[in-house]
Amino acid sequence: SYARKAGSKLSWGGGAKVIYRKIAGYSGTGLGLDLGVRYLPRDWLSLGARLADATSTYLSYSTGEKESILPSLRVGAAVSRRYKSFQFTGALDGHLFIEGRDYASQLSWGELSADTYAGAEVGFKDRVWGRLGSERGHLTAGGGIRYRKLLVDFAFLSHEQLDDSYRISLKLRL
């Protein structure tokens, strides 16, 4: 990964990635490149974009099959405000694909399709957070608690066809 600041309001970067997939006893590997940019026009507003698989990511499977992951663009905006001991943040994102995903995406126009994301977070004294949102139209909720150097974060994602997902993460600052 590599990132740079271009002045006080603009940052950009990129990262190479190695992909390993194992499906039904077969495995595949590939290389990819992601590029991103973030612009801070105001102290309360953040705008960003990420071009995933910028050069297309090619995977080669043990069966001899080959797969290519086409580039996709994710754009978003977030606003953040403090009021006394509280921090309020809201965000909207869109993920655009050019690969004819049809019903696999929320919105589809021929070869172009898109998914949407929205969320809000309320924090108190940088120690407790509550979150509520939507990922591709599915309810998301979560929160976090910081105690000294330990951060416990949890999330819930509802899904119509699959079971609901629960995630818990622990982070220890050294």
Residues 57-97: tens digit of each pLDDT: 999 999 999 999 999 999 999 999 999 999 999 999 999 99
- Domain shared by 54 and 77, yes or no: no
C-alpha distances in angstroms, 137 versus 18, 140, 160? 30, 9, 10
Q: How confident is the model at residue 99 (pLDDT cuts 50, 70, 90)?
A: confident
The domain boundary, picked from 38, 69, 100, lies at: 69
C-alpha distances in angstroms, 155 versus 3, 53, 129, 141, 158? 29, 27, 11, 6, 10
What are the residue ranges of helices labelled H in the chain?
none
Q: Can you give the length of the chain in residues?
A: 174
- Domain shared by 85 and 164, yes or no: yes
pLDDT value at 25 more than 90: no
Question: Would the pTM count as exceeding 0.75?
Answer: yes
Domain count, the chain: 2
Bridge partners, 145 (sequence order):
128, 152
- Domain shared by 3 and 41, yes or no: yes
- Write down the pLDDT at residue 137: 87
- Domain shared by 171 and 88, yes or no: yes
- Domain shared by 125 and 163, yes or no: yes
- Domain shared by 99 and 173, yes or no: yes
Domain boundaries, position 99: 70-174
- Domain shared by 157 and 82, yes or no: yes
Query: Distance between CA atoms of 118 and 109, rounded to whole angstroms?
Result: 21
- Domain shared by 157 and 91, yes or no: yes
